[in-house]
Chains A and B, each alone.
Chain A
Amino acid sequence: MATLKVPITVEDHAQGPENAEVILVEYGDYECPHCGRAYPIVQQVQKHFGKRLRLVFRNFPLSEMHPHAEAAAEVAEFAGAQGKFWEMHDRLFENQARLGEALFLDLSEKLELSTTALRQALEQGTFEARVRADFKGGVRSGVNGTPTFFINGHRHDGSFEFETLVSAIHQAMGTAKSA
């Protein structure tokens, strides 16, 4: 069974309390249609568990397949460096069909981030190393496609349908599924 090899640190993008019962890590790609489909499901899962769950998102852009995936990941990191990771993360998934420079600049403007700084960051690859580090850590942990989820450090090999995720998380909590 594949396990998460890179521990969660303060550098990670996370939502939910640090001491939550369950930590759900998603390795995702903003251009991957499956990740796009998982996005609202993960939100439902977060809602379902409330403060009992902490969500961590890490980059796993499949750039050979998805021409905008790497840039999108860097855009999210750019926003993250200014405390707006999740705002950007959500908007990227919500506008998955329109990924590209025009959208990146548009979103950055909407989030009141400097478009000049964004252009520069993309051109200079400021966040490339960060994205690459996520990717490498994912490979080492047995990420085998996108999205790949880890529940309390164990790779979730089932589907990412709401029911499946919820029941796997319940299992990790050591409680029987109640709902």
Chain B
Amino acid sequence: MAQSNPSNVTPIHGGGILAGGAVAPNFTLHVTPDQTLTLSDLLGRPVILAFYPADWSPVCGDQMALYNEILPEFHKFGAELLGVSVDGPWCHDAFAQNRHLHFPLLADFEPKGAVARKYGAYRATDGFCERALFVIDKNGVISWSYCSPVAVNPGADGILQALEDLPK
């Protein structure tokens, strides 16, 4: 996997997502139209980074809605959940309100997909993110990652296992 030189890795779809052991590339993204979030500000606690193709997926219990329900389980590990897609902050805002999401959605909007590319989680041919999950430890190192087929909601079992496996 693309583990050797993570800071320079910008694989396109098929190149593979960053694997466990790689330093999580830092980023600053809009979380609302007038607020940004920087990954390194969250050092000291685990972070779950969930890239997903798009807001407004038409199914009930879609990935973000599912994670919203599971949020208390993530919080038991002190983990912060961040959703990331190429949708803009206004779109995220409307989506989060509609689905009553209680965690931030980050807009990898401009330049489009730049953060997803750093994680190897961008589908250049489609113009949106993979369904890629990363658990980042409190030191900012990726401890686990998983890329699901884009049509398959990966659920949360892998995330919970990865959180459990983090050194205490």
Contacts and interface: CB of A to CB of B under 8 A. Distances in A.
A159 B87 CA distance: 28
A5 B66 CA distance: 18
Nearest to B157: A142
A32 to B, nearest CB: 5
B155 A62 contact: no
Interface size class of A (residues with CB under 8 A): 20 to 34
A146 B60 contact: yes
B110 interface: no
B75 interface: no
Contact of A146 (B61, B63, B68, B70): B61
Contacts of A63: 69
Contact of A144 (B73, B100, B154, B160): B154
A65 B60 contact: yes
Interface string B145-168: 000000011111110100000000
B160 A34 contact: no
A29 B59 CA distance: 14
A22 B157 CA distance: 24
Given A62-B65, A65-B60, A136 B155 contact: no
B157 A62 contact: no
B45 interface: no
B160 A139 contact: yes
Given A64-B68, A65-B100, A136-B73, A141 B62 contact: no
Interface of A: 2, 5, 29, 32-34, 62-65, 135-136, 139-146, 157
